[in-house]
Amino acid sequence: MHTLLRSTLRTKTASSLAYAAVSRSAQENLLQAPLLSRSNSTEASLAKDTSSNDVKNGQGFKGHSMLAPFTAGWQTTDLHPLVIEKSEDLAKELLEMFTARKMGKAFFVNSGSEANDTQVKLVWYYNNALGRPDKKKFIARAKSYHGSTLIAASLSGLPALHQKFDLPAPFVLHTDCPHYWRYHLPGETEEEFSTRLAKNLEQLILKEGPETIAAFIAEPVMGAGGVIVPPSTYFEKVQAVVKKYDILFIADEVICAFGRLGTMFGCDKYNIKPDLVSLAKALSSAYLPIGAVLVSPEISDVIHAQSNKLGSFSHGFTYSGHPAACAVAIEALKIYKERNIVDQVNKIAPRFQDGIKAFSDSPIIGEIRGTGLILGTEFTDNKSPNDPFPPEWGVGAYFGAQCEKHGMLVRVAGDNIMMSPPYIISQGEVDELISIYGKALKETEKKVQELKSQRK
């Protein structure tokens, strides 16, 4: 009986893994296990309606009934539980949604950090399979954020993530931050600034040796670094450089994806055609932890061939593609479509952006920048990037406290303020948000004046 079941399962397993990538060891294990259809407590039902204890003691699947609304339908009598139908459904949906370029497979993880860790391993695996063992280095950007695990924090370009952690790892290099307001030369246009940064990137590649550079990773809009929107022609020029030297482009869409910028993906907004993509956060609207890596067919085919050659692909996580998380993610994507979230963002964003940017003339604001429903404010003295306020003044923290006092939460990072309102915010709520911002700003201006007078 089990032989027949395994034969049937082998066919169903192959047909059910067209989109989601799993380790080969997991695939092999699927063919050796008895076929289970459902488990409610300590009892696991076999496909032939017999009964088998899942565990001899304890409560087994305690809490299953509470998770039922999220997991309904994720198992069937046709597949072993390890073949999670929901992960395949989610993978198919993501690959269809991402249209900046064709992607071949989706690999599920639990966070953006895990996604970017996985990117490094996949790229190394890919280059080793192609006989390029020296192509190991990654280039990221100053002030970028890619996560907090060892590799993801190394990729990040924020010094606080490196200090006393012995990071970044030696294979990670950092190039210029594309912040035009802060780093442009006198008289330099945005296009000229982008050209200079692309040339600097190329010089770094040539200095290290193109044969040693594996990938370049970038957020379409830099989030935790202060909401830094790319200058005109930036991605066009850096993509040309990395393509010239056969360097993979990784788009970290953890913050930007699923409507935040007014497009379904940040890649759509800036015409980025990546080789790999990292997703998380809005993938489940943050209701459950889940992330994903999208891999181009050119890369996934090489990895698949190499794993077949070795007999396994030994990378994965305990909760990769967890059915509850996948079910929630599928529902989130469905809601984004049904509610036309991208259209909603584009309708509300001008009111939000224009309303906050109207405060740009404040003497304590250096720059207000953003796009869609993400916006950053940077406080500086004399409206200059070269005149920061003394850190001990805590200007950003004071502004954040005033916002909270009036009923609004903002993210504070030094003297940078970041705002990402919910997609479903109404016009009236945007007006309320703008009003609170104005009140907090007025109180902060007064505080700065007091601090300046005390310094004299």
Task: Determine the average pLDDT of the residues in 79-100.
Answer: 83
Per mean pLDDT, which range of 131-135, 191-195, 393-397, 452-456 is the poorest?
452-456
For residue 7, name the pLDDT band (cuts at 50, 70, 90).
very low
Task: List, in order, residues 6 or more apart from 225 with CB less than 8 Å away.
Answer: 143, 144, 145, 157, 158, 177
CB 330 within 8 A of CB 90: yes
Question: Picking from 39-43, 189-193, 266-270, 452-456, which range would have the lowest pLDDT averaged per residue?
Answer: 39-43
- Residue 12 and residue 100: Cα distance in Å, rounded? 31
- Cα–Cα dist 276/107, whole Å: 11
Q: What is the pLDDT of residues 55-77, one digit of tens each?
A: 333 333 334 444 445 545 444 44
Map out the domains of the chain as residue ranges: 81-339, 341-455
Mean pLDDT of the chain: 88
- pLDDT reading at 105 higher than 70: yes
Q: Is 326's pLDDT higher than 50?
A: yes
Q: Is pLDDT of 310 > 50?
A: yes
The pLDDT value given to residue 455: 83
- Average pLDDT of 304-315? 93
> Any idea what the Cα angle at residue 97 is, between residues 96 and 98, rounded to 5°?
95
| CB-CB contact of 109 with 90 (8 Å) | no
Query: Quick one: pLDDT band at residue 282, thresholds 50, 70, 90?
Result: very high
| Per-residue confidence (pLDDT) for residue 14, from 0 to 100 | 53
Task: Encode pLDDT of 192-231 as tens digits.
Answer: 999 999 999 999 999 999 999 999 999 999 999 999 999 9
Q: What is the CATH number of domain 341-455?
A: 3.90.1150.10
- Any idea which fold 81-339 has? Aspartate Aminotransferase; domain 2 (3.40.640)
* Of the candidate ranges 75-89, 103-117, 147-161, 279-293, the one whose mean pLDDT is the lowest: 75-89
Mean pLDDT of 435-444: 99
Q: How many other C-beta atoms are found inside a 10 Å radius of the C-beta of residue 310?
A: 12
Determine the Cα–Cα distance for residues 291 and 281; give it in Å rounded to an integer: 7
Q: Indicate if the pLDDT at residue 41 is higher than 90.
A: no
Tokens of residue 84, six digits: 């999670």
Tokens of 231: 């200058």
> In a 10 Å sphere around its CB, with 0-12 CB exposed, 13-18 middle and 19+ buried, how is residue 359 labelled?
middle
27 has a pLDDT exceeding 80: no
Whether residue 48 has pLDDT greater than 60: no
Helix then strand count (H, E) for the chain reads 15, 14
Cα 435 to its chain centre, rounded Å, is: 31
Cα separation, 239 vs 192, in Å, equals: 16
Spatial separation of the C-alpha atoms in residues 33 and 274, rounded to whole Å:
38
Q: Do domains 81-339 and 341-455 have the same CATH topology?
A: no
pLDDT at 52 over 50: no
Bond before 168 cis per omega within 30 degrees: yes
Higher pLDDT, 437 or 9: 437
Each residue's pLDDT tens digit, 237-262: 999 999 999 999 999 999 999 999 99
